């Protein structure tokens, strides 16, 4: 009987904590503010069209020379990644990913 009472107390406490915790409440204003901050963070990251032009010319030249892209994925590659996911690891990895995707039509 005591175990049931303790279990009920823990259950009641947990439920009351979850519903009364302001950190778990999702307010539309808070969500909008979080989205604004995320958008600002994304827009702060540099994006250079010149770099994209360099990659496009690299791909064209490599295709003319019939060069094969690196067959092995980088050690940090995870399933579900895209080339944009590995941009932070360096321009060469990003370029190789773009060429691999262009060459084979898929990711590693």
pLDDT digits (tens, 9 = 90+) for 85-99: 888 888 889 989 999
pLDDT digits (tens, 9 = 90+) for 8-67: 667 666 666 555 555 555 688 898 898 998 888 777 766 665 678 888 999 999 999 999
Q: How many CB atoms lie within 10 A of CB 103?
A: 14
Confidence of residue 107 (pLDDT cuts 50, 70, 90): very high
Confidence of residue 75 (pLDDT cuts 50, 70, 90): very high
Q: Which of 88, 62, 64 is nearest to 77 (CA)?
A: 88
DSSP letter string, the chain: -HHHHHHHHHHHHHHHHHHH-TTT---HHHHHHHHHHHHHHHHHS---HHHHHHHHHHHHHHHHTTPPPPSSPPTT--TT--GGGGGGG-HHHHHHHHHHHHHHSS--
């Amino acid at each position: 009987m005591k175990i049931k009472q303790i279990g009920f107390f823990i259950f009641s406490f947990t439920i009351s904590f979850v519903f009364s915790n302001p950190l778990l409440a999702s307010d539309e204003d808070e969500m909008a503010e979080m989205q604004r901050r995320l958008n600002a963070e994304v827009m702060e990251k540099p994006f250079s069209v010149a770099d994209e032009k360099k990659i496009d010319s690299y791909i064209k030249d490599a295709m003319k020379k019939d060069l094969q892209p690196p067959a092995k994925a980088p050690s940090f590659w995870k399933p579900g990644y895209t080339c944009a996911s590995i941009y932070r690891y360096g321009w060469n990895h990003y370029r190789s990913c773009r060429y691999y995707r262009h060459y084979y039509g898929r990711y590693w």
